[in-house]
Structure 1
Amino acid sequence: MNWLESIGGFVFGMECLGCGVASESLDPWLCPACRAELEKMSKAPHFPNGDVFCLFPMRPLTRNLIHALKYKSIPGMATYLVKRSCARAGEVVAQELSLLPKPLYFVPVPLHPARLRERGYNQAEKIAGALASTCGGKVWRLFRRRTFVVSQTKLSKEGREWNVAGAFEMVPQKKMPTCGTVLVVDDVFTTGATTSSCLGALGQDFPLPVKVCTLLYDEPATAAADFAADNRTAWDSM
């Protein structure tokens, strides 16, 4: 057992963060069964439109891992997920990113300073750093948050849009790059309200093409229900 696994076992009691089952084969956070499930999900990225890349679907497993990243003080989960996603070399999102003008600028959605003090780090910035390292590129802290909003988690589509309207502004730049692609990075894409607010802060004269990249895509309830039904059917037929 290496030192990282030892720390994971000490902190989490050797319980898998995916399923909660005790295991001596954590890596250090997932058991073999949950690792296999995550690998399967990495083959199912989602593209809500041509400008948005989502690396994993929202499932109980990935929801647990994002929760650990945001609320259990596990910033290393960002790198863990990115390195096991379709952003790896040769995978579909990596291929899509390779076609974009270079360099790639990974721009994290900022946290309000009060939230940052509470959490200790910005999960979007950790994800942006992992993407830059994995895909090649730079982290660019282009935005700052100017209003404190409530959590988006339980809001309607309209509520999300109102909640983040005008929440971001662009940090003044001494010199703007003349080439490359900006990828606005966040943890979850649901309605797109947060990232759309960031894009609005850029203005119409922003000189670079802009895309969005998130770890998870929060699917409509019907899609999640279809996925569960398909799994039940496959299990019943075995």
Structure 2
Amino acid sequence: MFVFRAFRSAVRAASGLVFPSLCLGCGGPLADAAPICASCVRMLPRPAPEALAGQLLARDCAEPLARRSVALWRFDPGGTVQRVQHALKYGRRPSLGIPLGRLLGDATQRHARGWAPDVVCPVPLAPIRELERGYNQSAGLASGAADALACETEDLLVRTRSTRTQTTLAFSERWQNVAGAFARSPEARPLAGVRVLLVDDVVTTGATLLAAAQPLLDAGAEVTVAALAMADG
């Protein structure tokens, strides 16, 4: 098994030399592990600084949580942001999460007005979905964000039940789908007064992020949410 893994790693490394990774925006060669070049990053659509806060407040979100929330990009169906998100989530490329998470961590640092997390927590997938996909795309984002913010990442949450994919559901159905679907992990540290950055890949209505934040808030944590992209809810 070790020999096979070493051979597979060598093949992948050699393939990278012969077929360098290409930017998902302009198609040019990439110099690092990020899926998009620096020029394309600067051109990606960004939401207004208070856009996500306004959307969450409209869902009766607590004001402190909403005010510090951040989305790095605006989701652009058929565009570069969607290609990046789909490569991370469905393209079996979990390594993309680290460089993307660093960008998200930098955005959080700029936007949160002096607030800094003690720990970064990914929104967990249902076990069967993570088994099917092979990884949780939000875990890589959380690791990258924690790296940028000089803190640690920890799985503070568990899924209490499986849920339907949110992409096919109407607004009201999304909230019913995820209500009570998350709980604090039995192995989590005491959270009273702990500042937690909760990370997911895309936020639409905010239902998933807010449902996941609730057990952390109930445990006394100070929570801020961050997403790679914000879709129109």
Query: Normalised by the size of structure 1, how large is the TM-score?
Result: 0.74
> Aligned AA for 1:182?
V
User: What secondary structure does 1:207 align onto?
Assistant: coil
Measured after TM superposition, the shift of residue 178 of structure 1 is 4.6
CA spacing shift, 1:86–1:145, aligned 2, 3 Å: closer
The answer for the alignment partner of 2:75 in structure 1 is 58
CA spacing shift, 1:9–1:196, aligned 2, 3 Å: farther
The answer for the alignment partner of 2:98 in structure 1 is 79
CA spacing shift, 1:43–1:165, aligned 2, 3 Å: closer
User: What secondary structure does 2:168 align onto?
Assistant: coil
> Aligned AA for 2:129?
R
Among 11, 16, 21, the residue aligned to 1:7: 16
Among 197, 201, 211, the residue aligned to 2:211: 197
CA spacing shift, 1:117–1:94, aligned 2, 3 Å: same
Measured after TM superposition, the shift of residue 203 of structure 1 is 5.5
> Aligned AA for 1:213?
A
Amino-acid identity (%): 28
Could you tell me whether the CA contact under 8 Å between 2:217 and 2:223 is conserved in 1? Answer: no
Measured after TM superposition, the shift of residue 134 of structure 1 is 1.0
Could you tell me whether the CA contact under 8 Å between 1:187 and 1:215 is conserved in 2? Answer: yes
> Aligned AA for 1:87?
G
Task: String of CA shifts for 1:158-181, please: whole Å, max 9, x gaps.
Answer: 111111111111112574145431
Measured after TM superposition, the shift of residue 155 of structure 1 is 1.5
> Aligned AA for 2:151?
G
Among 106, 114, 129, the residue aligned to 1:99: 114
Could you tell me whether the CA contact under 8 Å between 2:202 and 2:227 is conserved in 1? Answer: yes
Which runs of structure 2 are paired with 1:107-122 in the superposition (5 Å)? 107-122=121-136
The answer for the alignment partner of 1:217 in structure 2 is 230
Distance across 2 between alignment mates of 1:95 and 1:194: 24
Structure 1 unaligned residues grouped into runs of 5+: 221-238
Among 184, 190, 193, the residue aligned to 1:176: 190
> Aligned AA for 1:39?
R
The answer for the alignment partner of 1:232 in structure 2 is none
Distance across 2 between alignment mates of 1:108 and 1:147: 17
Task: String of CA shifts for 1:56-92, please: whole Å, max 9, x gaps.
Answer: 1112101111100011111121122233x3633xxx5
The answer for the alignment partner of 1:69 in structure 2 is 88
Could you tell me whether the CA contact under 8 Å between 1:46 and 1:217 is conserved in 2? Answer: no
User: What secondary structure does 1:76 align onto?
Assistant: helix
Query: Normalised by the size of structure 2, how large is the TM-score?
Result: 0.75
CA spacing shift, 1:201–1:175, aligned 2, 3 Å: closer
Structure 2 unaligned residues grouped into runs of 5+: 1-11, 54-66
Could you tell me whether the CA contact under 8 Å between 2:121 and 2:154 is conserved in 1? Answer: yes
The answer for the alignment partner of 1:125 in structure 2 is 139
